[in-house]
Structure 1
Amino acid sequence: MEPRQTQREPPSRASSLATRLFVSATAWVVVILLITGIVLSSVYRSASERAFDRRLNLYLRTLVADVATPDEPPDKQMQSLGEPLFELPLSGWYWQVTRTDGDKPDIRASRSLWDKKLPRLEEQGNELTAAGIRIGYVEGPEGQTLRIVERPVDLGADGKFLVMVAGDASEIFEETRAFDYYLGGTFAALSIVLVLTTIFQVRFGLAPLKRISDSIADIRSGRAERLEGEFPVEIAPLARETNALIDANREIVERSRTHVGNLAHAIKTPLSVIVNEASARSGDAFATKVLEQTHVMRDQVAHHLERARIAARPTIIGTVTEIAPVIDALRRTMEKIHRDRGIMIDVEADTSAKFRGERQDVEEMVGNLVDNACKWAEQRVFVEVLVERGSGSATRGGGEGGPMLRIIVDDDGRGLSPDERAKVSRRGARLDESKPGSGLGLSIVVDLAALYGGSLTLGTAPIGGLRAELVLPGV
Structure 2
Amino acid sequence: MMRQSSLATRLFLSATAWLVVILAITGIVLSSVYRNATERAFDRRLNLYLRTLIAEVATPDDPPDRQFQSLGEPLFELPLSGWYWQITRSDTEKPEVRASRSLWDKKLPKLEEQGIELTAAGIRIGYVEGPENQDLRMVERPVDLGADGKFLVSVAGDASEIFDETRSFDYYLGGTFTALGIVLLLTTVFQVNYGLAPLKRISESIADIRSGRAERLEGEFPVEIAPLARETNALIDANREIVERARTHVGNLAHAIKTPLSVIVNEATTHAADPFAAKVMEQADVMRDQVAHHLERARIAARVTIVSTVTEVAPAIEALRRTMEKIHRERGIVVEATVDPAARFRGERQDLEEMAGNLVDNACKWATSRVSVEVTVETPAKPGAAPMLRIVVDDDGRGLSPAERAQVSRRGQRLDESKPGSGLGLSIVNDLAALYGGHLALSDAPIGGLRAELRLPGV
Q: Please report how far the alpha carbon of residue 71 of structure 1 lies from its aligned counterpart in structure 2 after TM superposition.
A: 6.1
Which segment drifts farther, 312-321 or 126-135?
312-321
Closer/same/farther in 2, CA of residues 33 and 400 from structure 1, 3 Å limit: closer
- Alignment partner of 1:384 is 2:368: no
Q: Which amino acid aligns with 1:364?
A: E
TM-score (norm 1): 0.92
The CA deviation string for residues 208-244 of structure 1, in whole angstroms up to 9 with x for no partner, is: 2222222222222222222222222222222222222
- Number of the residue aligned with 1:203: 193
Q: Please report how far the alpha carbon of residue 99 of structure 1 lies from its aligned counterpart in structure 2 after TM superposition.
A: 1.1
Is the CA contact 2:367–2:395 (under 8 Å) kept in the aligned structure 1? Answer: yes
- Number of the residue aligned with 2:434: 450
- Number of the residue aligned with 1:440: 424
The CA deviation string for residues 123-178 of structure 1, in whole angstroms up to 9 with x for no partner, is: 11111111111100000111110000011112222221111111111111111111
- Number of the residue aligned with 1:116: 106
- Alignment partner of 1:24 is 2:21: no
Q: For 2:75, what is the secondary structure of its paired residue?
A: helix
- After TM superposition, the structure 1 = structure 2 runs for residues 68-467 of structure 1, keeping only pairs within 5 Å, are 68-70=58-60, 73-392=63-382, 401-467=385-451
Mapped to 2, the partners of 1:19 and 1:337 lie a distance apart of 60
Closer/same/farther in 2, CA of residues 344 and 67 from structure 1, 3 Å limit: same
TM-score (norm 2): 0.95
Is the CA contact 2:308–2:348 (under 8 Å) kept in the aligned structure 1? Answer: no
Mapped to 2, the partners of 1:120 and 1:391 lie a distance apart of 82
Q: For 1:183, what is the secondary structure of its paired residue?
A: helix
Closer/same/farther in 2, CA of residues 150 and 249 from structure 1, 3 Å limit: same
Mapped to 1, the partners of 2:228 and 2:12 lie a distance apart of 23
Q: For 2:236, what is the secondary structure of its paired residue?
A: helix
Q: For 2:35, what is the secondary structure of its paired residue?
A: helix
Which segment drifts farther, 72-81 or 152-161?
72-81
Q: Please report how far the alpha carbon of residue 77 of structure 1 lies from its aligned counterpart in structure 2 after TM superposition.
A: 2.9
Is the CA contact 2:46–2:157 (under 8 Å) kept in the aligned structure 1? Answer: yes
Q: Which amino acid aligns with 2:229?
A: A
Q: For 1:435, what is the secondary structure of its paired residue?
A: coil
Which segment drifts farther, 327-336 or 417-426?
327-336
Which segment drifts farther, 300-309 or 74-83?
74-83
Q: Which amino acid aligns with 1:390?
A: P
Q: Which amino acid aligns with 1:279?
A: T
The CA deviation string for residues 229-288 of structure 1, in whole angstroms up to 9 with x for no partner, is: 222222222222222222222222111111111111111111111111111111222222
Mapped to 2, the partners of 1:322 and 1:333 lie a distance apart of 18
Q: For 1:469, what is the secondary structure of its paired residue?
A: strand
Identity %: 81
Q: Please report how far the alpha carbon of residue 18 of structure 1 lies from its aligned counterpart in structure 2 after TM superposition.
A: 1.9
Mapped to 2, the partners of 1:75 and 1:172 lie a distance apart of 33
Is the CA contact 1:388–1:403 (under 8 Å) kept in the aligned structure 2? Answer: yes
Runs of 4+ residues deviating >6 angstroms = none
Q: Which amino acid aligns with 1:195?
A: L
Mapped to 2, the partners of 1:201 and 1:402 lie a distance apart of 32
The CA deviation string for residues 1-39 of structure 1, in whole angstroms up to 9 with x for no partner, is: xxxxxxxxx98x8xx222222222222222211211111
The CA deviation string for residues 293-332 of structure 1, in whole angstroms up to 9 with x for no partner, is: 1111111111111111111222222301111221122223
Is the CA contact 1:391–1:402 (under 8 Å) kept in the aligned structure 2? Answer: no
Q: Please report how far the alpha carbon of residue 391 of structure 1 lies from its aligned counterpart in structure 2 after TM superposition.
A: 4.4
The CA deviation string for residues 167-217 of structure 1, in whole angstroms up to 9 with x for no partner, is: 111111111111112212222221222122222222222222222222222
Is the CA contact 2:247–2:299 (under 8 Å) kept in the aligned structure 1? Answer: yes
Q: For 1:206, what is the secondary structure of its paired residue?
A: helix
- Alignment partner of 1:468 is 2:458: no
Q: Which amino acid aligns with 2:107?
A: K
Mapped to 1, the partners of 2:150 and 2:432 lie a distance apart of 111
Which segment drifts farther, 355-364 or 342-351?
342-351
Mapped to 1, the partners of 2:36 and 2:341 lie a distance apart of 80
Q: Please report how far the alpha carbon of residue 432 of structure 1 lies from its aligned counterpart in structure 2 after TM superposition.
A: 1.5
- Number of the residue aligned with 1:62: 52
Q: Please report how far the alpha carbon of residue 452 of structure 1 lies from its aligned counterpart in structure 2 after TM superposition.
A: 0.8
- Number of the residue aligned with 1:6: none
Is the CA contact 2:438–2:454 (under 8 Å) kept in the aligned structure 1? Answer: yes
Aligned residue pairs, count = 457
Q: Please report how far the alpha carbon of residue 79 of structure 1 lies from its aligned counterpart in structure 2 after TM superposition.
A: 2.5
Mapped to 1, the partners of 2:299 and 2:263 lie a distance apart of 24
The CA deviation string for residues 336-379 of structure 1, in whole angstroms up to 9 with x for no partner, is: 33333232222222222111000111111111111111211222
Mapped to 1, the partners of 2:76 and 2:66 lie a distance apart of 15
